[in-house]
Amino acid sequence: MRYRPEGVNFPADPLCFTGMRRLLATAVLLLAACRTAAPPALVTERQPPLVAIPPSPKVPEPRIALVLGGGAARGFAHIGVIRVLEQERIPVDLVVGTSVGSLIGALYASHKDSFELEWTAFRLERDDLFDFGLVNAVVGMGYAKGEKLERFVRESVKQRDIEQLRVPFAAVAADLNWGQTVVLDKGSVARAVRASSAIPGVFEPVEHQGKLLVDGGVVDNIPIDVAKAKGADLVIAVDIGADVGNTNIKNVVDVILQASDIMFAVNVGFRRQGADVLVQPKVGGVGMLDFTKKKDCMLAGIQAGREAVPRIRAAIDAWKARKALEARPRG
């Protein structure tokens, strides 16, 4: 006989306990199944297969030409512009110059060093270039022969021939007989600079390469077209033209120089529009033979060069963007 405590009621059928245990076990299994079951798969649209995109081709750097115009003593401004380009690491791949631009350009193309260029320029005086002589003025074809200028270049430039210069270089002269532009990119550096700088009436014409040559400013004082013909992608042109107005004309040399300034200004007026970047140092009031303002001209060149740097970088970026677009595969 089983013992039953008083006050506690047990189910009459012992099988009820078994049913309850089974029910509890089933509930536990269902809860466990809910926790471990994988979520239903999401229905997505069919995606296209991935296609490998080829890398963009490398964009080349533009070939940059520095074009230096004529203007005698105002040419010291070219040195200031070159200093800025060197400081800003803007490469110069080609130099083309007329008259004093050919002189400064040859000196830079030889050394490729603005410090060396400045040092040479500060030592340069008018008598180093102009060999005026009364006899020559009477019986010759100019007040100065130009031999001093040629000797100065020969002593200052390390290389004898243009082909040997560290930077590709060309000087521009004018054929006095036929009025044609002559590009001097081979042979003697000193002779080419002398021919390019032979201001008519001031220097004697120069016989060179079978031609009678005078200052390139007669036909092209800022030879942008020459630089482009020689393969330049971008042209930085430095214009050192004079303020044409001049009431201080006292002798025949002043007449010749003033006439030259007017002639140079006229042919530069439309040619300079071809430059990608035009740099214009404020040196128009400096006389062509005034070597006392070398420092002022250099500082004006530095200021104009710095103002031009953003435009130069923008021109480079635009050229590279255009080349990148052209190189992209069609479609």
Catalytic positions, written as ranges: 99, 215
Report the interhelical angle of 114-123 vs 294-327 (nearest 10°).
150
Write the burial class of residue 324 (CB in 10 Å: 0-12 exposed, 13-18 middle, 19+ buried). middle
C-beta of residue 64 within 8 angstroms of C-beta of residue 313: no
Give the three-class secondary structure for 42.
coil
C-beta of residue 212 within 8 angstroms of C-beta of residue 258: no
Return d(Cα 312, Cα 166) in angstroms, integer: 23
* Structure token digits, residue 181: 């532009």
Residue 48: Cβ within 10 Å count: 5
Return d(Cα 84, Cα 299) in angstroms, integer: 11
Return d(Cα 135, Cα 137) in angstroms, integer: 5
